[in-house]
Homo-oligomer: A and B are copies of this chain.
Amino acid sequence: METPLSDPVSHPTSTRSPLPTDLHTAKLAKAPIEQRAKIFAALADPTRLHIVELLAQHRELSGSEIATQVGISLALFCHHSKILAEVGLLDIRRDGQTKYNSLNQTLLMDCCNYFLQRCEQQS
């Protein structure tokens, strides 16, 4: 398993540090292009995109809640959540037997800024 681009320890869901976006985007730029591509690959599947869009609006949802909302089995959600977590897009908090998933908005914004910066300083 690869180390995700965003460190869940230094950027937890509830208390995300207000660092300038340039720092994150710089971190993303140093990463190999394969790792950047994997973030988009995580968003490339309709089922996963549905999950991400759902979490963009609801902050925190349990696995069962997401599975029923999206209309898939819990087993399938587990499969997709693993892919989202592996690239660092999913923050997971556990409480008893339920796991609460939230979106790493910072990483999502960094991916956007990564392009926008290059478009601005065009040669």
CA distance A118 to B57 in the complex (A): 6
Within 8 A of B (CB), among A4-51: 33-34, 36-38, 40-41, 43-46, 49-50
User: Are A58 and B119 CB-contacts (below 8 A) given A34-B46, A50-B33?
Assistant: no
CA distance A2 to B115 in the complex (A): 25
A109 in the interface (beta carbon within 8 A): yes
- Residue in chain B with minimal CB distance to A117: B56
User: Are A37 and B45 CB-contacts (below 8 A) given A56-B119, A57-B123, A119-B103?
Assistant: yes
For the A-B complex with A37-B49, A41-B45 known, give 18 more contacts whose Cβ atoms are closer than 8 Å: A33-B49, A33-B53, A36-B49, A40-B40, A40-B41, A40-B43, A41-B41, A52-B115, A53-B118, A57-B123, A59-B123, A103-B119, A108-B115, A108-B116, A109-B116, A111-B112, A112-B112, A112-B116
Mark A residues whose CB is within 8 Å of B.
33-34, 36-38, 40-41, 43-46, 49-50, 52-53, 56-59, 103, 105, 108-109, 111-112, 115-116, 118-119, 121-123
